[in-house]
Amino acid sequence: MALFLVAWAGTTTYAGEIQPLSSSTHIDHIVATVSERYGIDHLLVHAVIRAESRYDIYAVSAKGAQGLMQLMPDTQRELGVRNPYDPWENVDGGVRYLLRQLLAFGQLDQALGAYNAGPRREKSRARPAETIQYIRKVQAEYLSLSSQNR
């Protein structure tokens, strides 16, 4: 299994823990911890991160989505994410948002459509081509990761 490491300077607080960021932050550990906390398959979270940012913690989309899980500023505010470039905060917010979509829609493809284009758009069933491609990409990544981890 590949290791995804990010080097930071400074410190951050997450869930009552002080994390020294001068040491490498292990994204696999973050994903595993947060996924377990919310009961979501960590491989699905990795598939979303791969599709969204390719593990670039400083990724910014043309539409303004930020960080590993590409959270939009309004979504960040709604989820209480103060620093979208902090891997702990971004993954925690992204996983909570993904879980919300999974619970609301009940099907993975619909949840991914809502994650990508927004729940209102998914409810209208008016998926843009970009969202259809995104759903296929995440599902293919998830399938690939799942078959590698048997």
Mean pLDDT, range 50-73, rounded to an integer: 96
Burial label for 148, CB within 10 Å (0-12, 13-18, 19+), is exposed
Judge whether 18 lies within some domain: no
Are residues 11 and 21 in contact, defined by beta-carbon separation less than 8 angstroms?
yes
| CATH number, position 123 | 1.10.530.10
* Residue 105 falls inside a structural domain: yes
6, part of any domain: no
**Does 115 map to a domain?**
yes
Which residue range forms the structural domain that includes residue 38? 26-148
Instruction: Round to whole Å and give the CA distance between 50 and 71.
Output: 14
Residue 1 lies in a domain: no
Asked whether residue 9 is domain-assigned, the answer is no
Cα–Cα distance, 49 to 102 (Å, whole number): 16
Task: Pick the catalytic residue from 52, 89, 122, 141.
Answer: 52
Q: Which residue did the predictor score with more confidence, 150 or 56?
A: 56
Q: Give a yes or no: residue 14 inside a domain.
A: no
Structure-token pair, residue 55: 């593990």
- How many separate domains does the chain show? 1
**Sign for the pseudo-dihedral over CA of 99, 103, 104, 110:** positive
Q: Tell me: the pLDDT tens digits for 93-112?
A: 999 999 999 999 999 999 99
- Tell me which of 2 and 122 has the higher pLDDT: 122
pTM exceeds 0.95:
no
Residue 84 covered by a domain: yes
Higher confidence at residue 63 or residue 124? 63
Is residue 19 pLDDT above 70, yes or no? no
Q: Is 52 a catalytic residue?
A: yes
